[in-house]
Amino acid sequence: MLISATTLKGYSLEGLDGEMGKVREFYFDDRFWTVRYLVADTGNWLTGRQVLISPHALVGVMGDREQIAVNLTKKQIEESPSLDSDKPVSRQYEEDYYGYHGWPTYWAGTELWGNYPGIMRDRDLWNSAVDGKWAWDPHLRSTFEVTDYDVKATDGEIGHVQDFIVDDETWEIAHVVVSTRYWLPGKRFLISPKSIEGVNWGESNISVNLTRDEIRHSPEYSEGAMLMRAQEAPTDAQAMAAWRNEGDPN
């Protein structure tokens, strides 16, 4: 299912032993344009640190309930490696974090999730051969930070980043929503990350290998249609109970 990052903001995080917070934003990399962490707002719980949750632990998005099922307990999150709220996500932190949870790393291997094109739920397959010869150092950025970045076509500026459309199975960013501001007032278009040539973090802009005319003929974004899809996502009380019972509370 495709759903916008803005829609997901504020969704409650339903862990194995109850609600653990709400969605605040996401960290994604600029190579595969894939969400690597959900950033949780835990209120007064675990203050002073960033609470990051890998998509490995995100069981499913329940649009009608505005919830995301998380296959972790509060204790597991509380005892996971700590990251100060004002610190960036370092490779050392990621190695400690993934090691703590026992998940396969996403930065070793040539696929979207390391050795796999999507989230691998089968622990028995995690020990399959990993291509250690190909590893990369991801540049993680938050959706909050990149929102409002200027977007430049090959023949001039076209507007700014307004939102991100995420596939909640692979957690890949399927589209970037671009608002065309004064060029085409009131218009919003969907741009594929494959069209993005680069991100200039210093100047807060991204460049795309499309002309203004090509963008003008890109699919227009309809927030109402996207919200309807999220609300129509299948949910089931028995399925909720099943993932809770199957979770590892240790």
CATH code of residue 174: 2.30.30.240
For 96, the domain range is 2-139+234-246
Q: Whole-angstrom Cα distance, residue 114 to residue 105? A: 6
Task: Return d(Cα 229, Cα 233) in angstroms, integer.
Answer: 6
Backbone angles phi, psi at 87, to 5 degrees: -110, 145
- Co-location of 150 and 112 in the same domain: no
Sign of the alpha-carbon torsion through 208, 209, 213, 215: negative
Which pair of tokens denotes residue 49? Answer: 């640190």
pLDDT tens track, the chain, 250 positions: 899 999 999 999 999 999 999 999 999 998 899 999 999 999 888 888 899 999 999 999 999 999 999 999 999 999 999 999 888 899 999 999 999 999 989 998 888 998 888 887 777 777 655 555 577 878 899 999 999 999 999 999 999 999 999 999 999 999 999 999 778 888 999 999 999 998 998 899 999 999 999 998 888 887 655 544 444 444 443 444 454 555 444 4
Amino acid symbol at 232: E
75 and 151, same structural domain? no
The answer to whether residues 226 and 3 touch, using CB atoms and an 8 Å cutoff, is: yes
Residues 213 and 238 in one domain: no
**Dist CA 49 CA 33 (whole Å):** 25
Domain count, the chain: 2
Query: Which tokens is 35 given?
Result: 């969400």
Is residue 169 domain-shared with residue 132, that is, in the same domain? no
Q: HSE of 54 in the Cβ direction (CA atoms, 13 Å)?
A: 24
Regarding whether 133 and 12 lie in a shared domain, the answer is yes
Neighbours of 230 (CB within 10 A): 20
- Cα 114 to Cα 110: distance, rounded to the nearest angstrom: 6
> What pLDDT score does 249 carry?
42
Residue type for 16, please?
L
Q: Which two tokens stand for residue 4?
A: 């916008």
Quote the pLDDT of residue 228. 45
